[in-house]
Chain A
Amino acid sequence: MTILKYGEFAVQKAQQLGADEAEAFLTQGQEISVKAEANELKLATTHARDGIGIRVFCERALGFASVNVFDEEKIEEAVRTAVSLSKASLKDEHNLLPEPQPVRQVAGLYDQTAEGFQIGSAISLAEELLSTARGYDPRVMVDSASFNAMTERRAVVNSRGIKAEEKENLFYYFIMGMARDGDEVSSFNYRFQATRSAGDLAVKEKAREFAEGVVASLGASKGQSFVGTVILSPNAVLDLIVQPLTFAVDANRVQKGLSRLAGMLNKQVASPLLDIEDDGLIAGGTGSASFDREGLPHTKVKVIEDGILRTYLYNSYAAHKEGRTSTGHASGGARSVPAIGPTNMLVRPGDKSKEELISEVKRGILVTRFSGFPEPASGEFSGVVKGGFLIENGRLGRPLIETMVSGNLFEMLPKVSGLSRETESLGSVIAPYVMVDEMAITGG
């Protein structure tokens, strides 16, 4: 059953009501989910979700409304709201909807097995997640875990002729908790996986990694303050490098003074070892789709090539401002106007093993997880090292607690001195271990 007809209805209505341009983005999803809490299976849920978001321009002024039911009366009400907001809002010459472009279907976004996936299968997988983690060591405590299977249809229609729809599915799960030994409680840790294909699920492996991680961080003690080398796990790379960087290359933020990478195109912004691409066309990629939030095809772009900044990421609004085309990075759902976001981000691995990287460190730390809030505009960060280990004379030492690491992303990127060949897939990001020199570490 197509959902496009509701979109076409909304666009037509908007034009009848006086909108110069109109766009409807629609989603229809089904999800089953099993949740565990405090080491026990707790809850099974099923959801059916519909959503339509209507963006209109009257004399190039923006109005947007959304509603979560496919009902012509409710949709018409939302269209009226969008049009009336638009008539009262601000004109902006860059408010133009995109023209259609050829969209090629990306393979592997829908696994047929998702269709017949039942709550019973989700329960078995969630139980396996729990029993593997708990069976690893009696000190392992699972605070929460869930297993989810989702299928979704998404569609875009606009008044310039864009019309696109596709079906996708996703299996995702996480396990989170700590180890407890008498009165001692370790740091939190978690593992997760997201995949389109049921065949790729690695529940036992992720549960074991989680359990190993929390048990290893027991017995942590306070460290000292020093300037040394830091090895970031793929998870810490995601939080400390990839996510802040996606903000810094968001063209809208660049244009509006919110990025230190403004004016840095084709300049060296990082160590030549660092190479990051964004590819929304990877077959089966969890960040892949045949078209973006505006109905334009995703693309594959090199963001940082051998340390040189090559491009920012655009939606059509930011692209119009520079008189160029969108890179197909319009992001978001039916409940808000299109933003800009990454698809699949790939950090190129290096040629050394994680152990070789550790063996090169005279004095430093291994950071499993970073707890902090890097400021996207400035790149400043200061946060707590989680699941941290001291490294001395090339050897991994004792686990650390109450240790902080501080710096600035844009000053840190040129100091990247090594990447591992092992990578980890973290949802739509694939990253290796990254070694950085001269980092300020504060011990408790």
Chain B
Amino acid sequence: MLEFLEELLGEFTGSDYGELRYHERKALNIAVRQGELEAANSTVYSGVGVRALCHGGWGFSSTSRLDRDSIKAAIHDAISGARAASKKDTMKLGPARLARGRFGPEIEDALSAHPFEEKLALVRGTEAKVRSFPFIASTTCAYRESLDRKYIITTDGARAEVTDSKPEFILLAVAAADGQRVEASETLGVTGGWSDLFKRQPDELAETVARRAGDLLKAAHPSGERAVVILGPALVGLLAHEAIGHTVEADFVLSGAVTQGKLGQRVASELVTLVDSGPSQYGNHAGGTVLVDDEGVLTERTVVIEQGILRSYLHNRETAGMFGVTSTGSARAFEYSDEPLIRMRNTYMEPGSRTLEEMISEVQHGYLLQGARGGQADANAEFMFSVQEAYRIEDGKVGELLRGVAVSGQAFEVLESVDAVGKEFRFDMGAGYCGKGQMAKVDGGGPYVRCKAIIGGRTR
């Protein structure tokens, strides 16, 4: 396939840059809800995405037909698009470490070695286990996998064959009593094989999620206030991703994000070091792991904030050229028919030196927040996260569980307020996706972090 695509590069004559990316995704989705099979879906989605640059304008086209004429036609469409969007000035792409060769995660226990029957049985069994708890009104369990093969080739020398394997396991439990309902979920997601996914056993997850739903049913709502909070790894990952990560995507910086002009300045407490990394750190299987980006650039570990100082934005080749830096390998496309955009990969805070027990014992009044349900952030870095488990902390001790908790704040103020960083580290967003016009599989995490934020309340 690489040779075949290489022969077609000549069609880009007259453009400043051309890129061909064959991407085949084989996906499987099994979902069981209340004992009934809702999905046994196998999908193949494959084709070639073509991008051309002419005088500062980009054109993109895609085709699912793999014959020479169809790809040629797509190249010509991309070039016409680029000419139509072109400007007066020629754009110079920034330098990059172009990938040449074969890349992919090392996998010992391939997903394909486990038949559909085994996957279905596991999903059924886990779903039934959650449902066996008497207070559970509804359960959903799903297993999903994405197996990718890509060939990326560019007119300036990238030539890479890339494989990937990303499975996920999702459990949702709803407990109900007296007309009230509460939800709890547990998710796993990795880059890797079967045994990499199930580092935690499905039975244990089933018990955890069911018991949490049951406990939440008895829990009260919080009163709203600004308070000391200790964020768990999933929420630290969400903070790093949503509230900081998006504001350092270079395309967004150019649009006027709050980080514009702040490189080299202090933006957080010196306890904060924040990283977005393509390769997986702290273990090999983070869910957002990307070895080669979709411009054919080798990814790197990008230090965004180093001990409180803003050090780098996230770049593709275009913004690297504009900022006079090297691409960070952050250009990602979800499927062949999506154009590469600047996206995050694995986003996290580096661990510190404190134990969780110490951090809790020093809090007079506050909250311990764990597990994410979702998050959003704004141009001004104001964020909100929905929290799964929130406990009150009074006089240095963890107390009552609360339900329906969301936390908000201005991300940089919250990072400035960080006064303790834990030493345990965990990736905990592996089943996470980020949406920016197209999806991207990302991961995030960190240690426990203590800071100040607003808790949304139901009463005063």
On whether the beta carbons of A86 and B456 are closer than 8 Å, the reply is: no
- Asked if B181 is an interface residue, CB under 8 A from chain A, the answer is yes
Q: Main SS of chain B's interface residues? A: strand
On whether the beta carbons of A401 and B456 are closer than 8 Å, the reply is: no
CB closest residue in chain B, given A444: B454
- Asked if A63 is an interface residue, CB under 8 A from chain B, the answer is yes
Chain A positions within 8 Å of B137 at CB level = 257
Measured between alpha carbons, how far is A323 from B383 in the docked complex, in Å? 46
Q: A65-B43, A371-B376, A378-B182 are in contact. Are A144 and B81 (CB under 8 A)?
A: no
Chain B positions within 8 Å of A381 at CB level = 404
Chain B positions within 8 Å of A41 at CB level = 57, 85, 87
On whether the beta carbons of B456 and A406 are closer than 8 Å, the reply is: yes
Partner of A402, one of B36, B179, B409: B409
On whether the beta carbons of B456 and A257 are closer than 8 Å, the reply is: no
On whether the beta carbons of B61 and A336 are closer than 8 Å, the reply is: no
Partner of A85, one of B42, B44, B63, B457: B42
Partner of B34, one of A257, A373, A441, A444: A257
- Asked if B382 is an interface residue, CB under 8 A from chain A, the answer is yes
Chain B positions within 8 Å of A227 at CB level = 460
Chain B positions within 8 Å of A184 at CB level = 380
We find that the number of chain A residues with CB closer than 8 angstroms to chain B is 88
- Asked if B406 is an interface residue, CB under 8 A from chain A, the answer is yes
On whether the beta carbons of A225 and B457 are closer than 8 Å, the reply is: yes
Partner of B458, one of A69, A78, A142, A406: A406
CB closest residue in chain A, given B410: A402
On whether the beta carbons of A43 and B85 are closer than 8 Å, the reply is: yes
Measured between alpha carbons, how far is A180 from B253 in the docked complex, in Å? 12
Partner of B37, one of A47, A62, A335, A373: A62
Contact code string B219-235 (vs A, CB < 8 Å = 1, else 0): 00100111000000000
Stretch from A88-96, A157-165, A303-311 that touches the partner? A88-96
Q: A187-B379, A256-B34, A377-B183 are in contact. Are A69 and B42 (CB under 8 A)?
A: no
Q: A257-B176, A377-B174 are in contact. Are A440 and B458 (CB under 8 A)?
A: yes
Stretch from A32-40, A97-105, A342-350, A426-434 that touches the partner? A32-40
Chain B positions within 8 Å of A255 at CB level = 34
On whether the beta carbons of B85 and A46 are closer than 8 Å, the reply is: no
On whether the beta carbons of A119 and B254 are closer than 8 Å, the reply is: no
- Asked if B339 is an interface residue, CB under 8 A from chain A, the answer is yes
Query: Which of A65, A185, A336, A405 neighbours the largest number of chain B CB atoms within 10 Å of its CB?
Result: A185
CB closest residue in chain B, given A34: B85
- Distance of A22 from chain B, by nearest CB (Å): 14
A-B contact count (CB 8 A): 264
On whether the beta carbons of B39 and A178 are closer than 8 Å, the reply is: no
On whether the beta carbons of B84 and A442 are closer than 8 Å, the reply is: no
Chain A positions within 8 Å of B43 at CB level = 65-67, 335-336
Measured between alpha carbons, how far is A260 from B120 in the docked complex, in Å? 29
CB closest residue in chain B, given A384: B384
- Distance of B144 from chain A, by nearest CB (Å): 11
On whether the beta carbons of A442 and B455 are closer than 8 Å, the reply is: yes
CB closest residue in chain A, given B28: A85
- Asked if B258 is an interface residue, CB under 8 A from chain A, the answer is yes
- Distance of B458 from chain A, by nearest CB (Å): 5
Measured between alpha carbons, how far is A65 from B60 in the docked complex, in Å? 28
- Asked if A268 is an interface residue, CB under 8 A from chain B, the answer is no
- Asked if B307 is an interface residue, CB under 8 A from chain A, the answer is no
Partner of A43, one of B37, B58, B257: B58
- Distance of A147 from chain B, by nearest CB (Å): 12
- Distance of A67 from chain B, by nearest CB (Å): 5
Measured between alpha carbons, how far is A346 from B453 in the docked complex, in Å? 38
Chain A positions within 8 Å of B381 at CB level = 185
Measured between alpha carbons, how far is A188 from B408 in the docked complex, in Å? 16
- Distance of A439 from chain B, by nearest CB (Å): 10
Contact code string B371-383 (vs A, CB < 8 Å = 1, else 0): 0011010111111
- Distance of B364 from chain A, by nearest CB (Å): 20
- Distance of A66 from chain B, by nearest CB (Å): 5
On whether the beta carbons of B404 and A67 are closer than 8 Å, the reply is: no
Partner of B384, one of A178, A372, A380: A372
Measured between alpha carbons, how far is A178 from B57 in the docked complex, in Å? 24
- Distance of B123 from chain A, by nearest CB (Å): 10
On whether the beta carbons of A45 and B42 are closer than 8 Å, the reply is: no
CB closest residue in chain A, given B34: A256
- Asked if B146 is an interface residue, CB under 8 A from chain A, the answer is no
Q: A66-B44, A69-B64 are in contact. Are A44 and B84 (CB under 8 A)?
A: yes
- Asked if B110 is an interface residue, CB under 8 A from chain A, the answer is no
- Distance of B428 from chain A, by nearest CB (Å): 17
- Asked if B40 is an interface residue, CB under 8 A from chain A, the answer is yes
Partner of B254, one of A38, A63, A64, A337: A38
The 7 closest A-B pairs by CB, nearest first: A442-B224, A257-B138, A44-B81, A404-B456, A382-B406, A38-B254, A141-B256
Sampled A-B contacts (19; CB under 8 Å): A45-B59, A68-B47, A81-B42, A85-B40, A85-B42, A89-B120, A141-B256, A178-B378, A185-B379, A225-B460, A336-B41, A337-B41, A378-B182, A378-B404, A382-B404, A401-B382, A402-B454, A405-B456, A407-B458
Spell out A's residues near B (CB within 8 Å). Answer: 34, 37-50, 61-69, 74, 78, 81-82, 84-86, 88-90, 92, 119-120, 123, 141-144, 146, 177-178, 180, 184-188, 225-227, 252, 255-258, 260, 335-337, 371-373, 375, 377-384, 386, 401-402, 404-408, 440-444
For the complex with contacts A44-B57, A258-B138, 16 further pairs of A-B residues with Cβ separation under 8 Å are A37-B255, A45-B60, A47-B62, A63-B40, A65-B41, A78-B42, A78-B44, A143-B379, A177-B379, A187-B379, A260-B179, A260-B181, A372-B386, A380-B182, A408-B404, A444-B226
